[in-house]
Every structure is written in structure tokens, then in C-alpha cells.
Structure 1
Amino acid sequence: MAPRRLLLVGEGNFSFAAALSETLNASTRVTATCLQSPAELARDPVARENLQRLRERGTEVRFGVDCTQLADAFEPHHREFDRIYFNFPHCGRKAGVAKNRELLAKFFQRGFLEAPSCHPIKTINEKLIAELGKAFPLKRLKCSFPLLPERSTSVLTSWNCDSLSAAFWISLCEDNSNSESLTDGTTQDMEDFLVLFSEFSLKDPGRDSREEAHEGIYGQTKVCLRPSLLAHAQTVIQAPDFLPGSLHVLSGPVFQKCPILPFTMPAFHETLFILGFNKNLRDDYFQSLLDHLKGTLDSLLTQTLLEGSKLSRSVEFIFQSNEKDYIIKVKSHNFGSDCAKDLIIGSVTTSATSIIHKDQCFMFVSMNLDLLAMLVWGISDWRMLWTFDHRFLKNFVPGKIEPFKSYSLYPPCYVHDISFWLDEKKEFDELEFHTVARAVSQDTVISIQFLSRFQHPKTQQVSLCYRLTYQTCDKALTQHQVGSMQSQFRKEIQQRLHVIPR
């Protein structure tokens, strides 16, 4: 059996590493890292003693390691570890909760789009950018924006963020005295962000968006994980180095609540193209970008077709009711009749002349890279894009697009039904029902089917029944595991959705 490799990050004074090293056998290899430099730790007598103990045991110690940039600290052939430990993650004693949560988000974020990656999402992103770069001057932006944006902007239109209920909201429970440190801004900044966000989203079916936003301020402060990179568009165009006529490119992960379906995903990678131009040239720039975008997408979607095959995927720009924006749809018949429907892979948004740039208009193109990669390679399950299974990445050569060969052994499915009584005083949120199922099952629920609605003839109480199907894409679940998740799901919906399981 190969020796185990353990990685410790954010070690501080190395107390945990020193204690752990005394309990491990000789076949376990430990690499302990910290953010500080040797000179900084030399002033700490406890750290000096722990480092001496580690060196005596032959433990590898590395300094100046940023836990959010681990790929930069290790060569590709040294990046495989059996366990990674991060004890008490924080940015410092004076750091607020928001900064610490941002640290954790960056730590867990997998670098699909980073330089060493050979992931298909990176390949499709690079090809998309390169092709559009042949028609427009490019300016690539580093996605250093926070996952919890402080402000929103008018380009967050209804079809980019359907409603407040479609965003992952996070409640910050700290008292008001610490509100400034939570957001790196003032309480008024947070209120402005929430009000702006509600103004440019569809109203929640159950409540007024503005009312909910203010409740978040005066009850518990709430922020949301960004549902789109459009949340950062205003910051980009207000930057002093913004260049009209150039295509500004921003790529990164975004998050949204969604029903459990084969081609909808709660987290995916988005690329945002931002083009500013003189308002007198609007028609020329607009049509040019649309033409090049359609040509690029059509080319990408045909690269894995076999010779002599007919095109089964076509790109369409669907004009919206506001008569200035589009959604980008692809008709695909590659995944069977059940999935032969229009899939929305992106959007095109235009803005009117802004106060800051009185003579300019702006165009924003948002692309769902995960969905585009699935269509190009014929990957039928979005979960495969996030798998740790080495067999998946072995299918891909950096920079090339070749047909994907599935390695799945079709692991078994488990079907469980669940029925529950509704609370007469509360509206049932089916999207939240899907979200809870996704979280409890760790994305192993692949289908939720509504079976029936029953109303008791005497009490008039309403009961709903759903069927859940469990299956993974890269390993086999056991019946015991599924039973445990189903039991936990019953408890969670009772607490979070106020229903009574039958």
C-alpha cells in the first residue's frame, strides 16, 4: 500500500503539526505549511520549538504558502494528497466574518480556469476568448472580485437572476457594532446593495423584494453569493483604465438555486464579455459582436461531430420583450428525446447611456461555460465536470476538443417516495425543496418527480407526494447511505419548510 500524504495549511505556529507528527507511523508523509515567512516566525518561541520538533522527525515544512493558491506552491507531480487539513481558518484577529468566509470560498474553489488546468471548461473558455479576440481588442481581467459582492447594478436583469429566492443568501448574525467589518463598507453600503439587487430582480412570488431586503438589514444582515459576474460589471466600466472599443473579459464561478434537472447546476463557471462604445456606433458594434459570437459558438459545437454527420445543435439569439436584450439558446438532440429541448447557454444585455459615460453604451455577453462544455463534448451529467475521478480528466488533452468517451459503469439507482402535510399558514417553496434535497444528498439526487396532491376530505389539509431518485456519476452508492440521506431529508424539510412528513 502506498504511503499516505497529508497536507496541513494555515499552520500558524505549527502546534498542530508537531502534535500530529508524534502520532503517525513512519509510512505517513506530512507537509506542513504556513503563510508567514521564516523571519516572522523566528520571533515566536513556541513556533521555533515546534519547527525544531518537526525537523527532527523529517517533516517537510514550507513557508509563504497561500492556501487559496496551492497550485502555485506545488509542482504538478507533487499535488496529490490523501488528506488536507485547515484548522481554524481566518484572515487575522481583526478580520470580519465576510473576509473569513471569502477565504474559505477561495480555499474550496477548484481552479478549473487556472493556468495549469487541463479541464474542458478551461479549454472551452480559452477557445471562446481567442476567437472573439480575432475581431476585437482583448483585455483580460483577473477575477479578484468577491464572491459576496457589496453592490449590485442595473445590468442584473430578470433573466440573469430570476428572483431573490433564486440566490443563495447568507445571514450575518453579528451585532450592528461589527457591521462595517463584515462588508468592508458602511451599513448604508450594504443597504444600497440589497435595495439595488431587489430593484433589478423579479419580485419574490410570496413577498415584496424591497421589504425582504430591508428585513435583512434591520433583522439579520444578509448578503448573497453572486448569481452572475454581471454583479461586477459596474466596477469594471468605472475603472480608470476601461478602454472603449475593447472587449473586457472576466471569468469565474457563480451560484444560483435551481431545480434538480440534468442541465441545471447550482454552481458553474461564467465568462462575461463587456464592450463599451460610442452611442452613435451602437448598431455597428452590436451586430458585429453578435455575428462573431454566433460564428464562434457554431464552430465550437461542430468540432466533435463525426465526419458526414449532420449538425444537431444550432445557436439562436432570442429577442426579449424589452426589445433590446437576447438570450442565447441551443437546440440539442444529442442526449436523447428527454433532453431534446432548448438549453439557455448565455445572454446578451445592453445598457442605456450611463451618467458616468454620457456618450457611451455598453454591451454585456454572459456565457455558461459548464453547459457549453457539456454540449461541445456530449457530457450528459453536469456533476461529471466536478468529479475528482482521475478517469474523467484523462479524456481531455489541453487545448484540444475530441469526442468524450464515457467511463461510467451505470451505478445503481435508488428510488424513495416522500409525502408530507403542508402548513396552511405558509406557502410551499418547491425550489427550496429541491435545494434541500441537493444539499442533504450531496448532489446524488438526480431526479425529483411530483406524484400526487391529496386533500383530506374532513380537515381539508393538503398533502404532496414526490419521488426522489438517487444515483452518482462516478461511484456506487449503498442502500444504507441512501436510506440515511432520505431520513435526514425528512428531518430537514420539517425544520426548514415547516411541513409534516407522513
Structure 2
Amino acid sequence: MVPRRLLLVGEGNFSFTASLIDTLDPGVSVTATCLQHPDDLDGDPVTQENLQRLRERGIEVRFGVDCTQLAHALQAHDKDFDRIYFNFPHCGRKAGVAKNRELLAKFFQSCADVLAKEGEVHVALCRGQGGTPADEPQREWHNSWQVVAMAALGGFILSDVRPFSCEAVPGYKCTGYRTINEKLIAELSKHFPLRRLKCSFPLLSQGGTSILPPGTCDLSAFWISLREDNSHSESLTAEITQEMEEVLLLFSECALPKSPGQDDCIAAQEGLHEQAKLCLRPSLLVHAETVTCSPDFLSGPLHILSGPVYRKCHISPFTMPAFHETLLILGLNKNVKDSRLASLLDHLKDILDNLLTQTLLEGSSLSPSVEFVLQPNGKDYVIHVKSLHFGPDCTENLIIGTVVTSIIVSHKQQCFVFVSLNLDLLAMLVYDISDWRLLWTFDNRFLKRFAPGKTERFKSYSLYPPRYVHDISFWLDKKKGFDDLEFHTVARAVSQDTVISIQFLGRFQHPETEQVSLCYRLTYQACDRALSPQLAAAMQSRFRKEIQRQLHVSLR
């Protein structure tokens, strides 16, 4: 039977309908529905683009349609569909198999009321969910969605099983799985009107780091010096834009100068060419004034900016030199600042708590742990997550973001709230990923650990990777001093991020010369590839040479 009337339910962003209509004969009638209401979808440009395309083709679109009550949602003359589609159904949030079985059962029973006599119901499920012999991998029956049994409750039998081919419907994007950023934005859109900004700002920032989040300073930035007479310097910051987001910046191959300090000032006074100080942006906050002073900036909506940022940091499993940041910008009338800020923080806390508890084991006694810690200036906050969730490697509360209200922007009646969130660290906590380096791996085995439509704890594919310990001690140069952060930065670069910890062992001062010696222990371990003892030893040998050259120390 050639289907003449099609019904699609549970459409998330209508990308399946938009793709399907190109494969149909002109005489086929299509009705596309979703559970959400139009206001819920206003902030998603992909959905709006698909809806516009459907309207241009004359496709009927209905909102607020509950797929478990189709007879109630559709009028009498809108029944007798030849085919009903439901792609990747899911109750959402932390719904288990029982809830999703119930959804399927009610859906099939509802289909019986609106399906033509010889009609078909097409349901797309993820691998293993169906609980049939055709599923690969096969789950235990009690842990599947038992699609055959649920269909039987509506009077249907399973007549065919086919693989779902994304190539057959180009442009289709399942919304059952979203990145951490998309989940965050989707939840915020329920409480605030949103405007997503395209991050076309340069990766290189000029003008210092005075407006950065609490705890960030000049010393944590990757500084680059450009001579003023360089003909390319003016266009450099404009050319290095968001296109570089897809490129993994290999810090191990970058020879970046130290932070501008006293030596630079002396050199300038001695008549050397004046240099323009640029740094890889340590936060999207460096673009705050540009965004808020833009003519199309609106007070009221929550503006969202996302992109990569870079900071020098000490080596640990939960601190990273490059990560993806989302910046939320809210322009407020000064008269309502306190109430709107409180509302934003309350909703944000609930959203983050929900994200962080998705992968907790059933019956766990741990409770949501997000807290906003007011800073000494009485205006800004640091967003803490209690470390008791995340194992022995995490001994302190983790900082996943900041709330900044102290930035002064030239507006008469407006004030601004900036919320900065470390998406990479948030993803680590949500999926229980113990090492930030895995987020940058090219190993496909990492991606295979994440099933579409699920939020599950990450299981490592590298068991018992070997560790190699090397100690190093050296005398300090009395005139040059010693920068512990630079010591970690050199170790990170030389080892290509295989040094996982640096432990300070002791300090010794010679009784006669008063020269100071420091001793450290470095531990090498790879997270996604084999690391031999010979390679670790070679890296340690190179590290010994580099700290002499860059930090002006003398080995013992």
C-alpha cells in the first residue's frame, strides 16, 4: 500500500519532517506534531529554519500534541493515517526503562484510534532498546523497552525490523541527545528569553586581563608579543577567529613568551621597539564590553556566547589549559537587579544540580552540591561543586564557573550580570570522566562510550595504564627567582600532557652560600595511548634541559 497520509509525532526540531518531504510524492499529505508549544521553540534557530521550510511547502504543523492522546489532539476528520512515525521516543531527564515502556504502550494504544485499517506504525529506537532478537547488542529482557509487548497492548504486531539510515534522510538531527551546552541552554530557555550570539571574536585579546573572572590574572594568560612595525600585526587578531575552534591547539609545539613583567619595561626604556601585548583569550569576558555596547544588544533576554579559551594552570586531573566556555550575559535595569539576579542564580543552581545528578548510582546518598560563594568584593560569586562526588583525586571543591556583576560598562540605566561556565569541566562531572585530557583525544574508542539518547557514567577503555615516576632537583637563580606556574607549563609542553601530577618534595638552603634548592616528583601517565618507560625517560631528559634554558635553574 502506498501511504497517502502521514503523521509524525514527537518531532523535536522538525528536521526529520523537513528531510522526509523531499523523498515523498507530491500527493502525499503530511502532518508533523510535537509536544512543545511555539514559545518553547523560539530560541532554537535550527527549529525555526525547519518550520519555515515546512510552511513554505504547505506542511501542516501542530504544537502541544501528546502522542499518548492522539484521538483527543486530532479532530475527527484528521484521522485514518496510513503511517505514523515516532523517532527515538524518550520521556527525558532521568526516566528509566519502566517509564519509557509506559510511553510506548500508551503511544501504541493511542495509534489504534487514528490509524487507517491497513496502516503502519514506524518506531525508531536505539540499539538494544527494543528487546528483540534483532537488536544488537541484546539487552536482558527486563532491561529493554519490550517493544513487541508494548505494541501488543495496542493490538499491533511486529512485522519488520530495519536499520535506521541517517543517509536516507539527510539533514535529520535527533534531539534526544544534546551536548552539555545544549542541555544547559534548553533548560534556561524555559525561564528566560534567549539570544544566541555567534562567536566571531578573535582568539587573540589585546588590552590586559582586568575584567577576567575572580582568581584569573595576567600570569595565567598565554602572552604573545608582536612588534609594532610588523605589517601583519593589525590584521592578525581579526583573522584568527572562531574558525580555529575545530583545531586542537598543541601547546607542546608553541614557544610562548612569559607574561609581560619588569624585564619588558626595562627593555622598552632602553629603546627597543615597542611591542603590542596580546594574549590568547583566557575568558570570553574579554569580549563583554563589545557585546553589551553593540547596537542590537537588548536588555532582558539572556545572551549566550560560547567558544574556546586558554589559561596557564597547574597540572591536575581537573584543571585544563584549554576548554570551552559559555558566557551568559543579562542586561538589567538597576531598579530590578537584585530580584532578577536572584532568579537567575536560583534557576541556574537547579539546572546544574539536575545535570550533576543524572549519572549518580540509584540509591546514592549524595545530594546536589552546587553552591554560589560570594567573593570578598561583595559583588561576584564563584560557582563551587563539592568534591565528595568525584573520588580521591579531587581533594578540593571544584570551580565550574563564576558570576560577575562588578564589571562597569558605559550604560546609563543598565547594569549587567555575566555568568561564565567551564563546559569541559561540567561535562567531566556529568559523565564521571576523571581526566580532562580525554576530552581532546582523537581516539574513536572514547566517542563510542557515549550512546545517543543516554547520559551514562563513562567507562574507561584503558585499564591500569602504567605510571612512571621521576624526581628532579635544582638550584634557583637568586636574581631570576622561580615561577611555579611556569614550571608546570614547561612540564606540560615537554611531556605533551603526559605528566599527570607534580609533587613538591622539599626545599633546601645551603648554610654557607644561602642558595636555595627545590625538589619535585613528576608522574607520567598517558590516558589514551601506550606510554613506554623509554619514552617517559626521554621526556624527563628533555624537561631537565628545558627548565635550565627557560627558568634559568641549575640542576643538582
Query: SS of the residue aligned with 1:489?
Result: helix
Equivalent position to 1:480, from 534, 543, 552: 534
Deviation of 1:351 (Å):
3.9
Residue in structure 2 matched with residue 423 of structure 1 by the alignment: 477
Amino acid in the other structure paired with 2:448: K
Change (3 A) 1:400 1:233: farther
Deviation of 1:132 (Å):
0.8
Deviation of 1:396 (Å):
1.3
Equivalent position to 2:550, from 491, 496, 501: 496
Change (3 A) 1:391 1:157: closer
Q: Deviations over 1:297-354 (max 9, x none)?
A: 0111111112221225500100111111100000032332342421000000114664
Alpha carbons 1:206, 1:427 under 8 Å: kept: no
Equivalent position to 2:205, from 141, 144, 149: 149
Residue in structure 2 matched with residue 302 of structure 1 by the alignment: 357
Equivalent position to 1:140, from 190, 196, 212: 196
Change (3 A) 1:234 1:117: farther
Residue in structure 1 matched with residue 37 of structure 2 by the alignment: none
Change (3 A) 1:371 1:475: same
Change (3 A) 1:394 1:181: closer
Alpha carbons 2:187, 2:351 under 8 Å: kept: yes
Cα separation, 2, equivalents of 1:444 and 1:479 = 12
Residue in structure 2 matched with residue 371 of structure 1 by the alignment: 425
Cα separation, 2, equivalents of 1:406 and 1:178 = 45
Change (3 A) 1:422 1:385: same
Query: SS of the residue aligned with 1:427?
Result: coil
Change (3 A) 1:354 1:430: closer
Amino acid in the other structure paired with 2:205: P
Q: How does 1:44-55 map to 2 (within 5 A)?
A: none
Residue in structure 1 matched with residue 115 of structure 2 by the alignment: none
Deviation of 1:149 (Å):
2.2
Residue in structure 2 matched with residue 341 of structure 1 by the alignment: 396
Q: How does 1:55-74 map to 2 (within 5 A)?
A: none
Residue in structure 2 matched with residue 281 of structure 1 by the alignment: 336
Residue in structure 1 matched with residue 458 of structure 2 by the alignment: 404
Cα separation, 2, equivalents of 1:429 and 1:128 = 38
Amino acid in the other structure paired with 1:432: E
Cα separation, 1, equivalents of 2:446 and 2:237 = 39
Amino acid in the other structure paired with 2:422: N
Q: How does 1:98-497 map to 2 (within 5 A)?
A: 123-151=179-207, 155-159=211-215, 161=216, 163-173=217-227, 175=229, 179-183=233-237, 218-351=273-406, 354-355=409-410, 357-398=411-452, 400-497=454-551
Cα separation, 2, equivalents of 1:130 and 1:209 = 49
Alpha carbons 1:420, 1:464 under 8 Å: kept: yes
Alpha carbons 1:152, 1:232 under 8 Å: kept: no
Change (3 A) 1:432 1:116: farther
Return the index of the structure with the highest Cα Rg.
Answer: 2
TM-score, normalization: structure 1? 0.67
Deviation of 1:400 (Å):
3.5
Query: Would you say how many aligned residue pairs link Structure 1 and Structure 2?
Result: 366
Query: SS of the residue aligned with 1:339?
Result: coil
Q: Deviations over 1:420-439 (max 9, x none)?
A: 11101111001000000000
RMSD between superposed Cα atoms in Å: 3.0
Amino acid in the other structure paired with 1:290: L
Change (3 A) 1:406 1:500: same
Query: SS of the residue aligned with 2:421?
Result: strand
Deviation of 1:247 (Å):
0.5
Runs of at least 5 residues in structure 2 that lack an aligned partner in the other structure: 1-170, 240-257
Deviation of 1:406 (Å):
1.9
Alpha carbons 2:213, 2:402 under 8 Å: kept: no
Query: SS of the residue aligned with 2:527?
Result: coil
Runs of at least 5 residues in structure 1 that lack an aligned partner in the other structure: 1-114, 186-203
Alpha carbons 1:410, 1:473 under 8 Å: kept: no
Deviation of 1:455 (Å):
2.0
Q: Deviations over 1:363-391 (max 9, x none)?
A: 00000111111111111111111111111
Cα separation, 2, equivalents of 1:164 and 1:466 = 25
Change (3 A) 1:341 1:491: same
Cα separation, 2, equivalents of 1:213 and 1:342 = 42
Alpha carbons 2:228, 2:274 under 8 Å: kept: no
Amino acid in the other structure paired with 1:417: D
Change (3 A) 1:122 1:255: farther
Cα separation, 2, equivalents of 1:257 and 1:418 = 22
Cα separation, 2, equivalents of 1:153 and 1:235 = 15
Amino acid in the other structure paired with 2:440: W
Cα separation, 2, equivalents of 1:354 and 1:468 = 45
Alpha carbons 2:211, 2:407 under 8 Å: kept: no
Cα separation, 2, equivalents of 1:308 and 1:137 = 36
Deviation of 1:491 (Å):
1.1
Amino acid in the other structure paired with 1:447: S
Alpha carbons 1:153, 1:234 under 8 Å: kept: no
Query: SS of the residue aligned with 2:549?
Result: helix
Query: SS of the residue aligned with 2:472?
Result: strand
TM-score, normalization: structure 2? 0.61
Cα separation, 2, equivalents of 1:126 and 1:474 = 27
Query: SS of the residue aligned with 1:337?
Result: coil
Q: Deviations over 1:127-178 (max 9, x none)?
A: 011111111111111111111024568642442x2x2111001122463666
Cα separation, 1, equivalents of 2:274 and 2:172 = 44
Q: How does 1:33-52 map to 2 (within 5 A)?
A: none
Query: SS of the residue aligned with 1:171?
Result: strand
